[in-house]
Structure 1
């Protein structure tokens, strides 16, 4: 092949390759710019619509598509075309098609030069080659390639590239946002470019505590409590005009969707309250160009609560309750009572693991527990409060919270003591804080729990510890067999009992006289041994305690005040001393006492005579009733009317006889008291005791225990006979006989009382004579003294 033809074909091949390269690069650039604008526009439109970044998976697909399209374009438009083999025949044909004047000479010369041939053929080839070279020199080789498509492609690529570069200069943030979204693949690529921003928190109760969602966007909320959501605008952001809250609630009935507009509170705060939230929720917030990518999740959980409280008590030793210390006191309700000065350990259990515990009283607050990580401990702090001066002081106790919690942190225990000396002990804690902490009696302890979800008890558990003050012993005494007038030889009997909450430690007689007002003590014959109930008795057979007046050497006319005293074993706030009734006795002579007893006996005799007369009246009316009964039995026609009259009489008689019986028994007891007073005052004689015991008391006892009951029983039989209208006459006769016997016995007793009255009258008359003689002697002595000092001179 002639060199001239070869040079033309090489130049053509070079121009074609440069054309393909330029066009391929331009096409690739244009496509890349088009894809940039497409993805940039999609991202911007999506953000305007949803204020959210495009989903990551979508951006990854876009990036893969862009890379694929650009690479494919580069391969198709550059690789395949640029490296395509261009033979000399192909190039010659291209020139022949572009320049018809070559008249196939160029293609003939190229093809024949490759084959060779005879001399004639060589001559013809030479001539054809000459003609081809001659004509090639006359054509413009540049016109072989059409520059218009290349220019269009270059123009489009330049325009698109210039627009992208212009965007980069005008909106560098937009370019950076596109780069972070599609190249770096960041999920929050819009975040630096937002104008609005919200900080979402929870206003937790009690105390309006600000709580944040955790790193996973979860907040645990106590079941049934109000949820107040707080959206605040940071200082660097522009507050939105409005914030919308969208939510989904997950309940037993399915999902519940809703949307509300949050209430604006000032310039940079928005709030909304969900009332009594009981189901889990997911929350989305939209304000301006802000929206949360992932929902905030509210998980509803049970709040911490105190399930049970038990007290492990160490009672004061004087209470005698040591045997109960191995049994915890379970608190039922909100109140418990303990003996004063009891040290106890408050043991409480909760429904879930705890983070912190706060015990609050009007005088102090104790807090202990762990920090939010549930691994590090917080100092055990005691805040001493002074409500009167509204001051407080906080001290630390050298106690690890781990020692106050059980291993699972569902139980905790705090040493306390209920004491009357709480104020002084609290003051000492300022210098030396230690357990147990003193409680003022009857004050309420509030227990506030914070669980591992940092949820605080909606309402504190309360416990009121009532301190049982050890009361003074209760002394119940009464006189028996003695009156208010006694002789100086008397032995005063007292009966009764002494009771105390935890046992009587001691008891004694306390007395004083008008001559010696200072109280004196005398021991009891039988002393208490710590019994909770102590009976006054000298011996098991003698259920009274006696005070013998002989050692006191009293004189007639003096006044004696006597009582029984007792004390308990309280060695902490006591001992407490109390006494029973104060008995006042007048010391009299034997004769004076006998006179007083005689006066009482005369009164009793008069009462007994009144009873006897009432029984006699009933007996007299009984005769008329017997006549009515006889008439009724003879005339059955009049039985109905007469029966009502007879029944009325029987009822009145029963009432009367029972009244008389009660009064008679009272008189019998009074005579027994008279006898006892004589014995206790040591003015008795064998004859006096025999007469009053055998002739009055014993007959009256038989009268009351037999005769009155017999009359009552026969009156009852008469009433039954009247109701049945049978044997009424016989029943009436039996009543008459029984009443007559009763009257006869009463007459015998009255006769004995009158005989005693005769003797007593003689004694009384003799005492009156002695008394008048004494008064006369006193008057004579006064007259003599008067005459000696004030009489006329001799």
Structure 2
């Protein structure tokens, strides 16, 4: 590449000398010296790029080698992590080779660029070098021969004083090259002096072998067979580790656990158990409530125990709970399935059937009710004896059924299982059966367009909603005359068995006052009441709306009241209009004053 560029420069200068002929022999010789100087700078620049790039690549390679070795020794990650590390390292090295070496070598170093570089390093050129290079390669008709020869002579006069090496920071290059050489030498030295270490790094990082690194500390986990230990689900597990006393005993042993399904590791410190006994020092830690398979790692000193697992074996537990409630007669008397939960809510007065199903065949099972701390046994199965209320299903699980009479209030039930292996359920299975009382109907009614006075012939429109948690039985409107009789009028649109009735604005319930023969001057209290069909103790539940107080007046008096209200509203409206007009006048007056002030200011400015 350098030879090709040199030939190109030679052709350019020769072409320039022929195009600008007749140039003096001294000028042609000067151009040749300039060519040799520029070529020398170009070659030295390329050597610099090669040396610096190779040194940096050596440093990066050593950093990758020792960094991955240290990380792998400290963590011993799985194979996929090592593949990721090696892949990232290769990508980084390729990017460095491309950016530091090939990318820089591919940059075009033309004569004009190098001439400018030389001028920045040697002020004596005073732009003569770059001028001579550019003019000697330009069109002959645009260049004055004598001016070109003078420029070449000025540049040649300085060429002899130029040392290309001074353009480069040699100390930096030497330091970088020395560091890169030492980095590569360190890798070679390790491979020669500790070939086992280099071989193990090669097998683990490149061949993905899982051979562990040698350690000074020896650890052994108790209770694991082929790396697996089975425990009962939900139990507390005591993990014990023995450190070989013949080797280095660690001061600290850490236990790392995580779910076998993945997730973050949890690290806990293991405590020392006594002193050295039987040639080993014991360490232990209690893991509370193991409910799933756990991956386990133990670290002490430089030793690592990996690939351990706690496998959870299910103790008997509740697989499903069926609750069926037979509703009271006034609710239809049908059955209703209740969703399984810790709290089972059924309508008050229901007869309830509970069926507990275990996850495993049972040897014994009991269901008790707890009241004020006292347990009362309701059902039991033991030894698979026939005639008991538990039976084995085709799938191999066992059911335990409990029948309860009409439910009042709240009861707590506890089920306990023992499977054929003698394992008890970790915690008693507790279920709360709550009787939900029948709530009173909700009456959200109001009068539409009625104030506080009505005539004896008034028709009062009532709008709103009447609802019940189960179903309504009836609804009535009660009109109570002060110091008089109380009249009840049925709300015809409320039918028995309907849970909700809505009275809209366009379809209200009309309460007729004319049939009541009310006299002017009477005071009324109007209220809507609704009842449900509850037949349990306490009778039907009743809900009431707000009570509305009304005065009965003559049509003339009502008209006078409306006129007085109209006059009052008109006066308020006129007051608002007056206030608005006054505010407008004040705003207009303020804007006019500002305009006058601005006019006077403009006139004074014009006179000046």
State the structure with bigger RCO (CA 8 A, min sep 6), 1 or 2.
Answer: 2
Tell me the TM-score range normalised by the shorter chain. Answer: 0.3 to 0.5
Q: Could you say which structure has the higher helix fraction?
A: 1
Structure-2-length-normalised TM-score: 0.43
Larger Rg belongs to = 1
Q: Could you say which structure has the higher strand fraction?
A: 2
Structure-1-length-normalised TM-score: 0.34
